[in-house]
């Protein structure tokens, strides 16, 4: 295969991102959902406590008290005007994608993940992470009864409940809610920030039984002036345009190399983190792993134990993958929207022991994208 220069790939990335836009992660146009179904369980706007006492009529030494787990989430409220753009709303200087669950598609996704885990039993562990949208986490609580958006926590829990017990579910909803007052999602774009991705990475490490890297020990670089998908989807809303986002990159500690096969079949050598300071305002998120490509190989030159994983992702995974780099010698990243192949065959060919699935809820409600995911689980 032919190789192109970094400059050439920069132009390809720009064209790809401008062409795909917001629809790369999910279906944004249709929005016909019911209102929020459970103001407590879904949005974390209230503290949920409970105490059950048993044996009150018995003697004192027989009294027992069972305490229900307490969820406490710091409340977010706003007095800003809500502007409705259909499937996207703007509150103050932040935009949010509303969510409509499609149970049939969600069930298909859960069954497909289960099929993969069952197929790879004894060969590789399958970890599945379902990523909520910012509307579930950082949207102000006092607007939730004003919008038509399905309970995302319930949608995630329902899918997890349908999955095979061979799937290692990495449940990040509560973790993101605990950090909801931090900068865990962009305001002008549908993706999470690298801080949000980092908190999810810590949860994955806990499920895997490995030690995450301390966030304070990374070398970082920031790219200011990011105006993402929401900015375009709201006809360049003035309040968003006046308050652009900042993209922060956390550099792997290890010496790495990365090889990319793009959608046009051309191959590139590219850094895991690329300096996008000169990129236009809409392309700053492409700092991570050369953005969206069918197939990417990352080699950690510091690790020599032969460890390998396969990451199956859409664009939310781009900001997540750099955190994994220090834990494996080889990382094979596929974007199932563009890649044609078999995950199982790739796992066996590369000797991978872990498969990590990273998918956001907007993707999971999209019948076409779930169909694309089904196509590589064989």
Alpha-carbon distance of 274 to 232, in angstroms, equals 24
- Does 40 fall in a domain? no
Q: Where are the alpha helices (DSSP H) in the chain?
A: 6-20, 103-119, 134-137, 152-162, 173-178, 194-208, 229-233, 238-241, 321-324, 343-350, 361-364, 367-376
Asked whether residue 64 is domain-assigned, the answer is no
Confidence of residue 9 (pLDDT cuts 50, 70, 90): low
pLDDT at residue 45 is higher than 80: no
304 burial via Cβ count (<10 Å: 0-12, 13-18, 19+): exposed
Residue 260: which pLDDT band, with cuts at 50, 70 and 90? very high
Cβ-Cβ contacts under 8 Å for 58 (sequence gap 6 or more): none
Average pLDDT over residues 44-59: 32
| Per-residue confidence (pLDDT) for residue 41, from 0 to 100 | 29
Residue 20 domain-assigned (yes or no): yes
Cα–Cα distance, 10 to 16 (Å, whole number):
10
pLDDT at residue 124 is higher than 90 = yes
Residue length, the chain? 378
In a domain, residue 359? The reply is yes
Residue 3 has pLDDT above 70, yes or no: no
Sign of CA dihedral 229, 232, 234, 237: positive
Q: Across the strands, what pairs with 259?
A: 269, 297
**Whether residue 361 has pLDDT greater than 70:** yes
- The tens digit of pLDDT for each residue in 157-192 reads 999 999 999 999 999 999 999 999 999 999 999 999
d(CA 177, CA 119): 33
Q: What is the C-alpha separation between 362 and 230, in angstroms, rounded?
A: 14
Instruction: Report DSSP state, residue 266.
Output: -
pLDDT beyond 80 at 202? yes
- Going by pLDDT thresholds of 50, 70 and 90, the confidence category of residue 69 is low
Instruction: Find the helix packing angle between 343-350 and 103-119, rounded to 10°.
Output: 30
Q: Distance between CA 175 and CA 196 in Å, rounded?
A: 9
Number of domains in the chain: 1
What's the pLDDT at 72? 73
Residue 195 lies in a domain: yes
Within-domain flag for 48: no
pLDDT at position 258, please?
98
**Does residue 90 lie within any of the structural domains?**
yes
Classify residue 66: in a domain, yes or no: no
Of residues 3 and 113, the one with the higher pLDDT is 113
pLDDT of residue 13: 54
Residue 79 pLDDT exceeds 60 = yes
Q: Which of 264, 186, 269, 268 is nearest to 228 (CA)?
A: 186
- Residue 27 confidence (pLDDT): 40
Please report how many Cα atoms fall inside a 13 Å half-sphere around the Cα of residue 11, on the Cβ side. 5
**Cα atoms in the Cβ-side hemisphere of radius 13 Å centred on 220:** 13
Kindly report the average pLDDT of the chain as a whole number: 87
pLDDT of residue 73: 85
- Longest C-alpha distance within the chain, in Å? 82
Nearest to 276 by CA among 221, 218, 219, 321: 221
Q: What is the pLDDT of residues 136-163, one digit of tens each?
A: 999 999 999 999 999 999 999 999 999 9
Ranking 72-76, 100-104, 126-130, 240-244 by mean pLDDT, the lowest is 72-76
For residues 229 and 24, the model is more confident at 229
Averaged pLDDT, 47-53: 31
| Mean pLDDT, residues 100-128 | 98
Q: What is the pLDDT of residues 310-322, one digit of tens each?
A: 999 999 999 999 9
* 5 pLDDT above the threshold of 50: no
The parent domain of residue 329 ranges over: 6-35+75-376
Cβ atoms of residues 191 and 227 within 8 Å: no
Is residue 286 within 8 Å of residue 17, measured between CB atoms? yes
Whole-structure pTM value = 0.85
- Total Cβ atoms within 10 A of residue 93: 17
Cα 11 to Cα 232, 280, 290, 291, 292, distances in angstroms: 20, 11, 11, 12, 13
């Amino acid at each position: 295969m032919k190789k192109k220069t970094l400059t050439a790939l920069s132009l390809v990335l720009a064209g790809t991102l401008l062409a795909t836009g917001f629809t790369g992660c999910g279906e944004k146009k249709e929005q016909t959902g019911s209102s929020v179904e459970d103001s407590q369980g879904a949005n974390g706007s209230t503290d949920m406590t409970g105490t059950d006492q048993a044996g009150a009529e018995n003697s004192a030494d027989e009294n027992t008290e069972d305490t229900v787990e307490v969820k406490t989430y710091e409340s977010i409220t706003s007095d800003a005007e809500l502007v409705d753009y259909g499937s996207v709303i703007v509150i103050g200087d932040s935009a949010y994608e509303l969510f409509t669950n499609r149970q049939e598609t969600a069930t298909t996704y859960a069954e497909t993940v289960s099929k993969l885990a069952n197929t790879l039993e004894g060969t590789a562990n399958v970890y599945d992470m379902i990523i909520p949208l910012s509307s579930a986490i950082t949207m102000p609580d006092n607007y939730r009864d004003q919008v038509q958006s399905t309970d995302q926590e319930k949608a995630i829990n329902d899918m997890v409940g349908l999955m095979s017990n061979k799937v290692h579910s990495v449940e990040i909803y509560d973790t993101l809610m605990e950090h909801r007052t931090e900068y865990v999602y962009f305001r002008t774009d549908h993706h999470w920030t690298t801080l949000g991705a980092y908190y999810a990475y810590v949860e994955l490490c806990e499920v895997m039984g490995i030690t995450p890297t301390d966030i304070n020990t990374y070398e970082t670089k920031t790219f200011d002036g990011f105006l993402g998908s929401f900015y375009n989807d709201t006809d360049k809303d003035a309040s968003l345009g006046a308050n652009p986002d900042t993209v922060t990159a956390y550099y792997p500690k290890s010496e790495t190399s990365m090889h990319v096969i793009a959608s046009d079949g051309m191959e590139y050598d590219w850094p895991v983190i690329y300096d996008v300071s000169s990129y236009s305002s809409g392309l700053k998120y492409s700092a991570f792993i050369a953005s969206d490509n069918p197939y990417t190989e990352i080699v950690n030159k510091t690790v020599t134990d032969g460890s390998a994983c396969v990451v199956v992702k859409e664009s939310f995974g781009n900001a997540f993958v750099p955190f994994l780099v220090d834990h494996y010698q080889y990382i094979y990243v596929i974007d199932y929207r563009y890649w044609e192949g078999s995950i199982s065959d790739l796992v066996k060919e590369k000797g991978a022991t872990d498969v990590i699935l990273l998918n956001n809820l907007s993707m999971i409600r999209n019948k076409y994208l779930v169909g694309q995911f089904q196509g590589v689980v064989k």
